[in-house]
Structure 1
Amino acid sequence: MAAMSLAAKRDWGDVGLNDIAKEANLSIADLRREFVCKNEILRAFQTEVDAQVLARTKPAGPDDTVRDQVFEALMTRFEVMGPHKEALKRIAAYLRCRPGEASMFVCSRMVTQYWTLANAGAKLDGPTALVRIAGLSAVYGKAFSIWLDDDSPSLDKTMATLDRGLTNGERGMQSLEKACETVCGLVRGLKRNFGGKGKPDGKPSPESGPVPSSA
């Protein structure tokens, strides 16, 4: 991608839309037909990485857990982004100083992790779905920051950070799901108790007096 090629050599703030159009052999008008701004070009890059990761996903084995599949998917993501690491370092450094602009990528990162979890067969319904997606997004964000400076061939630091984050996240989700089950059980019990009190049982109450005989 032309934008990544330029970002690998120059600060992202110094890369203009005219520069990207020229690098891609496009007119600025053609570039505008495809993208609204530079941030949208970055989101398009994210989408392309998503697609490549999903395409490389291997069928789960009989002993593979959801956690195993998520771990493999995120490590595959780092592999796909490997050729663009220098560009991503510069872009990350630029966005780190501009939290308002960086916040524009929160939704696209959540979408990425939604697809990661969905492809792994994770449960994505119920009250904990959003927490699961947001949690994985945070785990990935931490691993991504380590990956940017991890130059080892086997990415040991990145793998360790990701493994630790997934383990802690899994424990947290288990505790949260148990808490939700407890609360839901209490709510159901309260509904049964209070709902039963409002139903007539066929017996007159002391305050109602004798039941009049029919005429």
Structure 2
Amino acid sequence: MFEEYSKRNRAIQAALELAAEGGWKAVTFAAIADRTGLSLSDLRRDFIWKTDLLSAFQSEVDAEVLAKAKPPGAAQQSPRDRVFDMIMTRFEVMSPYKPALRRISSALCCHPAQAAQLMPSSIASQYWMLAGAGAKLDPGTGLRVAGLASIYAKVFRVWLDDDSPGLDRTMAALDRRLKVGEEWLSRVESTCASLCRFACGCMPRGWKRRDARDTTAEQAPPGSASENPAGA
């Protein structure tokens, strides 16, 4: 990752190195400038808050995972299996930075305001994971993205503590939660469809025809046949 060694990427890497060494509190723009030789002016062009460094890291991870992903039609996989592969690839991409992410995650648990600043980029990341998996992105997308974001947040914590070579605990947790999430989403979508059918069935019959006649009457010129059916 970080093949394009731009000023932005140098800053992100420095932030991760500082976090691995001294925790999230050690990550300051002054420390990043000192480590990279960049000026504060350079850093201000790409970042506003310290958490913007993490949002930028998420964006780089998204791009790397999408570059590694197989086209959705390349293999006969279920949607859940494709999402599973995308998330596991994400963990693979982030593995060199696990020590830093472990310390950052621990610190952000004590700073909910900073954690909340990451919510938009975290949601966006899961949208792109669904897109890379070839999932349907329709009016129900928001529900799917929110569900996957919740699943990912829980499995991410498992991954942070999973030091086994095969990430067995992580894979088991992800598979279990994706299965439960898929079943829950299916029930929700079925319930919504039933409610829509019920609402349509409760509408007065013929309301469209009455509206059409009313509109025609309003638009008819004075003295026309629609206003005076007898033609008098």
Give the Cα–Cα distance (whole angstroms) in 2 for the partners of residues 170 and 21 of structure 1: 45
Distance 1:34 1:197, change over 3 A: closer
Equivalent of 2:131, from 97, 104, 118? 118
Over the aligned positions, Cα root-mean-square deviation in angstroms equals 2.1
Is 2:36 the partner of 1:24?
yes
Q: Deviations over 1:89-123 (max 9, x none)?
A: 11101100011110111111110011111122212
Query: Which consecutive segments of 4 or more residues in structure 1 shift more than 6 A?
Result: none
* 1:189 counterpart residue number: 201
What pairs up with 1:136-155 in 2 under 5 angstroms? 136-155=148-167
| TM-score, normalised by the number of residues in structure 2 | 0.82
| TM-score, normalised by the number of residues in structure 1 | 0.88
* 1:204 counterpart residue number: none
Equivalent of 1:2, from 7, 14, 19? 14
Aligned length: 204
Distance 1:17 1:197, change over 3 A: same
Give the Cα–Cα distance (whole angstroms) in 1 for the partners of residues 122 and 17 of structure 2: 22
Q: Deviations over 1:125-152 (max 9, x none)?
A: 22x3211110000000011000000000
Residue identity in the other structure for 2:116: S
The answer (yes or no) to whether the contact 2:33–2:40 under 8 Å persists in 1 is yes
Q: Deviations over 1:148-174 (max 9, x none)?
A: 000000001111110011000000111
* 1:167 counterpart residue number: 179
Shift of 1:14: 2.7
